[in-house]
Structure 1
Amino acid sequence: MKLIVNSEGVYLSKVGECFCLKKDGQKQEISAKKVEQILITTSTALTTDAIELAVENNIDIVFLKKYGQPFARVWHSKMGSISTIRKKQLELEENIMGTTLIKEFLTQKMNNQIDHLNVLASNRRDERKLIIKEAVEKIKNQVNNIESIENTTKIKDIRSSIQGYEGTASRVYFKMLSELMPEKYKFNGRSKNPAKDEFNCMLNYGYGIMYSNVEMACIIAGLDPYIGIMHVDNYNRQALVFDLIEMYRVYIDKIVFKLFSTKQVKSEHFDEVEGGFYLNKSGKEILIGEYNKYMESKTKYKGRNIELQNIIQFDCHNIANRILKGAE
């Protein structure tokens, strides 16, 4: 389970082999053996004993900003694998594997978008079914554009082109999602922090949680989250996380779209701030609850029956092995 501290003023400490949460005279103890990650989303007091218990049990502690982006984490000091992997990561911009991997990441993202839209089309019997199919064809065109790029091309030479294809597909995709939303919550494209609308507000917070999971999977697999391929390296920027997350954004898209389309989202889940919206405590609770339930569901993936939350780790280990071997 993920231990989520979402109430301001919680005191998190250690009692035996359990995490103890105290607030306003109430206390709850949770065995460390049941916890895989701790997410802290608001002002919290945290003891060093609790941190030590987390480290001893390979539980990372992630601190999230109010818009959902992780700004810090506590994790043990051991790297997940040998330094050879990280050395070979530095070479990906100059060899064909870098191009091969990015093509795979982005075509997977677009095919996920296509699958999502196709499911939404199958549930409709009005003129929107045709409009969805037209959007799907436009995204397929961008998939074809990416697949047509020669693997012999270095990623640094086609970075702007491939990002253009991905951007075009995303605009088509989100425009279609907006068309399918309840009238009250239709939106005009993607917007970030602060989001200009409620849908993007919840989407951004969900992506923030996903960022932390991808970073953790990288560390465990021995990948350096700061050495990117398509995203340019920058100080204090987890460039590889930005590359990898493209394959998993659809998980958040599906969760958030379902919450809105089934009318589980209410206006009181958001606070208006200057320039947009902020997901408040009640909004975070409904999103995180649905996220945990969805990620624990199982699916058939590359010949395995696997929980969605384990797919990221499975992929990161596979990518690390490919990079280490230097083979496609």
Structure 2
Amino acid sequence: MKLVVDGFGKSVAKRDNQIVIKENGKEVDYFRAEDVSQILLTGKGSITFDALTLLANHDIDCVSINWKGYVDYRLTPPEKKNVIVKKEQFFALADKRSGQIAKAFINAKIENQKAVLGTLAKSRSKDEFLTAQRDKLNYYLDKLDGLKKDTSDNLRSKILGFEGQASVEYWIGFQHVLDEKWGFNLRSGRGATDPVNSLLNYGYAVLQSEMWKSIYLAGLDPYCGFLHSDRYGRASLVFDLIEEFRQQIVDKTVLAIVNKNQVDVDDFEFDEGQIRIQDKARKLLIAKIMDKLNSKINFNDKKMSYEDIILYQGRLLGKYLTGEKKNYVGFSRRW
């Protein structure tokens, strides 16, 4: 279970084997440590030393997200001591495994973009425009498939080029189903100036915390990526793995709450030249993403939650790098 600590004046404390949440010094809730997988901090408050020890003993990390949708910091237990996985991760950068992994991330991303557009078209009496946008993505999947095996360094520019072109078509389809009042003119990334992009940014930050957890438990190095190039301070592998899950978990959630009028333009305001999500909309978004992460789908012939699938993909990557698995296949769905 992911625990969200929201608002101001909150504190996280310990009592025996329990995580205790307080507000202005008064206890408001408590949870058994073994039932919590992660704590998401979205407000301002404090945490006691005893609570940090309890969290470390149960492999529970804390992730703080600010109002702009950026991860401010992450408090983690000691690193997993599986040096073999990390060594193979570094070695793979110099061989063709790295290129295969980079391709797998983007292949899964485009397949999921197709799935979202296909679902949108189906729910709108097989909307011809959305169907056409979905079908355009097959071209970029074919291009990816046609790339010769090589290192990620040698393939990166081509892979990211295909990904970028596919994403343009995807966001055109995404825009097609939004009311003009939202002012969504394709994906803008950081520094959102419209409500939909601000929801996407915040949702991706929440999802990013799940990637950190998966990578940590798999014994991988979050700063050594295959698709995203190395850059000081950038958790490249986190941004690699998240590509497989953005569409099914965040994009669909944002579309649902916007198109079902669960949020309104008045739930957003400008702050420092960017859109700020007000508390009501932000709490709703977090709750809906938590629901999505806990929801179960058919995966590998069994019912699994998205949260567990993310953990599975991290372990699969580690097993591929160490030779326990012959291939790494990214996560994707048909719908």
Query: TM-score normalised by the shorter chain: which range applies?
Result: over 0.9
Structure 1 position 25, deviation (Å): 6.1
- Residue in structure 1 matched with residue 144 of structure 2 by the alignment: 146
Q: Which amino acid aligns with 1:53?
A: L
SS at match of 2:40: strand
After the TM superposition, which segments of 4 or more aligned residues of structure 1 sit over 6 Å from their partners?
Answer: none
- Residue in structure 2 matched with residue 237 of structure 1 by the alignment: 234
1:231-270 to 2 correspondence within 5 Å?
231-250=228-247, 251-270=249-268
The CA distance in 2 between the partners of 1:314 and 1:179, in whole Å, is 34
Q: How many residues align?
A: 324
- Residue in structure 2 matched with residue 17 of structure 1 by the alignment: 17
Between 105-114 and 34-43, the greater mean CA deviation after superposition: 34-43
1:164 is the counterpart of 2:161 = yes
1:201-220 to 2 correspondence within 5 Å?
201-220=198-217
Between 63-72 and 141-150, the greater mean CA deviation after superposition: 63-72
SS at match of 2:8: coil
Alignment equivalent of 2:178, drawn from 141, 166, 181: 181
C-alpha contact (below 8 Å) 1:69/1:209 kept by paired residues: no
C-alpha contact (below 8 Å) 1:182/1:260 kept by paired residues: no
Alignment equivalent of 2:130, drawn from 122, 129, 132: 132
Runs (5+) with no aligned partner, structure 2:
328-335
C-alpha contact (below 8 Å) 2:225/2:235 kept by paired residues: yes
- Residue in structure 2 matched with residue 111 of structure 1 by the alignment: 111
Structure 1 position 41, deviation (Å): 1.2
1:181-209 Cα shifts (integer Å, max 9, x gaps): 12212411111332011001000001011
Q: Which amino acid aligns with 1:11?
A: S
SS at match of 1:99: helix
What TM-score do the two structures reach when normalised by structure 2?
0.92
1:125-175 Cα shifts (integer Å, max 9, x gaps): 38xx11111111211111111111012x22211211110100011111111
Superposed CA RMSD in Å reads 1.6
Q: Which amino acid aligns with 1:108?
A: A
Runs (5+) with no aligned partner, structure 1:
none
SS at match of 1:203: helix
What TM-score do the two structures reach when normalised by structure 1?
0.94
Q: Which amino acid aligns with 2:188?
A: S
1:51 is the counterpart of 2:52 = yes
SS at match of 2:303: strand
1:186-205 to 2 correspondence within 5 Å?
186-205=183-202
Q: Which amino acid aligns with 1:274?
A: E
C-alpha contact (below 8 Å) 2:69/2:198 kept by paired residues: no
Structure 1 position 27, deviation (Å): 2.3
C-alpha contact (below 8 Å) 2:182/2:265 kept by paired residues: no
C-alpha contact (below 8 Å) 1:68/1:204 kept by paired residues: yes
Structure 1 position 301, deviation (Å): 1.3
SS at match of 1:13: strand
Q: Which amino acid aligns with 1:14?
A: K
Identity over aligned pairs, percent:
28
